[in-house]
Amino acid sequence: MMSALISAATPTTTWYLVLSALLFGIGTVGVLVRRNPLVMFMCIELMLNAINLSFVAFAKRMGDIGGQTTVFFVMVVAAAEVVVGLGIIVSIMRKRPGANVDDISALKG
C-alpha cells in the first residue's frame, strides 16, 4: 500500500513540462503587462529558467546529456545578459526613478 502511494507521488516528465509551461506563461504575461524594466527583466529570466527546466526534463526522459549541455550554455548566456542588462537598467533607473520601458529611447544619445 505504501509503495503504491510513493510511486504515485513521484513526479514524471509531464509534471515538469506542465510546471515549465506555467512558469513560461507567467513570464510572458509579466513581459506583456508590466512596464517596469526591472520587472520585465525578471520575467525574461523566469522564461529562460522555464525553458531550462523543459530541456532538463527531456534530457532525463531520453537519457541524453545534450539537453543538460544546452542548459549550461543558456545559463552562461543568461549570466552575461544579467551583467550587461542589469547595468543598463540600473543606470536608467538612477537617472529617471520613474522610468518605464518607453524611456529606453534615452540611450540613443
Q: What is the pLDDT of residues 25-39, one digit of tens each?
A: 999 999 999 888 888
Q: Could you say which residues of the chain have pLDDT below 70? A: 1-8, 105-109
28 domain residue, yes or no? no
Q: What is the model's pLDDT at position 105?
A: 65
CA-nearest of 72, 64, 69, 53 to 15 is: 53
Q: What is the model's pLDDT at position 28?
A: 97
Domain range enclosing 90: 36-100
Question: In CATH, what number is assigned to the domain containing residue 62?
Answer: 1.10.287.3510
CA-nearest of 109, 18, 92 to 101 is: 92
Contact 100, 37 (CB under 8 A): yes
> Half-sphere exposure of 12 toward its Cβ, with a 13 Å CA cutoff?
3
Q: What is the model's pLDDT at position 4?
A: 56
Q: Is the pTM of this model over 0.75?
A: yes
Q: What is the model's pLDDT at position 3?
A: 59
Q: What is the model's pLDDT at position 108?
A: 65
State the total domains in the chain: 1
Largest Cα span, the chain:
69
